[in-house]
Structure 1
Amino acid sequence: MCVIARDLNESDSAMPMDEETQIALSRLVALAMDDTGASKAAADFLLAWWNAGDLGGFDLTQLWLLDDLAAGDMIQVFAFVARNNVYPDVVMDRAEIEALVRRWRPDQALAD
C-alpha cells in the first residue's frame, strides 16, 4: 500500500503554477496515460514526485526516451518542483494521480 502522509500546510508557501508550466504538466500527464517508452518515463517522473519511496524513483536516463517537447516539459515542471515545496495534488487533480498509479503501478494502492 502506498501511504501518503504530509502536512496539509506545506503548500502555503508555494508560488502559483504559471500557465506555461500548467500546459507542460498537462502534456506530461497526457503522455503518461499513453503506452510508449516516453509514456513510462513521464509516468515515472510524475509518480516519483508523488511518492518515490513507494512508487519508485526516476532514472535520469529516461530523458533520452523523450522528444524535445516532452523533455522541455519535464524540465519546466522539475524547475517548478525545485522552487516550491508541494506535492503534485496541489497543482493537479488527485484523480489523475490515482489513474497513473492504477495504470503504471497496479500493485500499489493509494491511501490518505
Structure 2
Amino acid sequence: MTSVPTDYDSARAALTRLIPLALSDTGQARRVADFLMAWWNGPDLGHFQIADMFGLDVAVANDITTIIGFLGQNDRGAVYIDSLGFAEEMQDIIALWRSPAARPDA
C-alpha cells in the first residue's frame, strides 16, 4: 500500500513540483493548472474534474493527493495557496491559462 504524506512540509514540496508543471507546455500542465486554480478560486476560475487524475502520471497525481490530504487534515480552517507562499506563481498560472487567448472559446 502506498502512503501519501499530508503534512505542511510535504504539501509545500508537492507545490514546488506542481507549479512549474502548471506553467509548462505539457499534456499534464492544463490539468494541474485547473486543480490549482480550482483551489484558488473555483467559482471564477473553473473547477477541477476529478477524472482528470486519470490523465496524470502517478507522481503528479500523488502530489495533488498530498495537497488534498493536507487541506482535509488541516485544523486551521481554510488554507489557500497564497498563504503557503505561492501568490505570485498563482498569478502567473492564471495569466497563462485564463487569459482570453488561452480559453478554448476565444
TM-score range, shorter chain: 0.7 to 0.9
More RCO (CA 8 Å, sep 6+): 1
Question: Are residues 1:42 and 2:32 paired?
Answer: yes
8 Å CA contact 2:8, 2:70 repeated in 1: no
For structure 2, which runs of at least 5 residues remain unmatched after alignment? 1-6, 101-106
Q: What is the root-mean-square deviation in Å for CA atoms of aligned residues?
A: 1.3
Q: Residues of 1 paired with 2:87 and 2:10: CA distance?
A: 21
Identity %: 36
Q: TM-score, normalised to structure 2's length?
A: 0.79
With 68-77 and 87-96 compared, the bigger mean Cα shift is at 87-96
Give the aligned partner of residue 44 of structure 2. Answer: 54
Deviations 1:6-31 (A, max 9, x none): xxxxxxxxxxx632221111111111
Q: TM-score, normalised to structure 1's length?
A: 0.75
Q: Residues of 2 paired with 1:69 and 1:40: CA distance?
A: 16
Question: Are residues 1:78 and 2:73 paired?
Answer: no
- Residue 31 of structure 1 aligns to which amino acid in structure 2? L
Question: Are residues 1:32 and 2:25 paired?
Answer: no
Question: Are residues 1:89 and 2:82 paired?
Answer: yes
- Residue 97 of structure 1 aligns to which amino acid in structure 2? M
Deviant stretches of 4+, over 3 Å? none
Q: Residues of 1 paired with 2:82 and 2:10: CA distance?
A: 18
- Residue 50 of structure 1 aligns to which amino acid in structure 2? W
Partner residue of 2:11 out of 18, 21, 39: 21
| SS of residue paired to 1:54 | helix
Q: Residues of 2 paired with 1:103 and 1:69: CA distance?
A: 23
For structure 1, which runs of at least 5 residues remain unmatched after alignment? 1-16, 108-112
Q: Residues of 2 paired with 1:21 and 1:75: CA distance?
A: 9
Give the aligned partner of residue 3 of structure 2. Answer: none
- Residue 48 of structure 2 aligns to which amino acid in structure 1? F
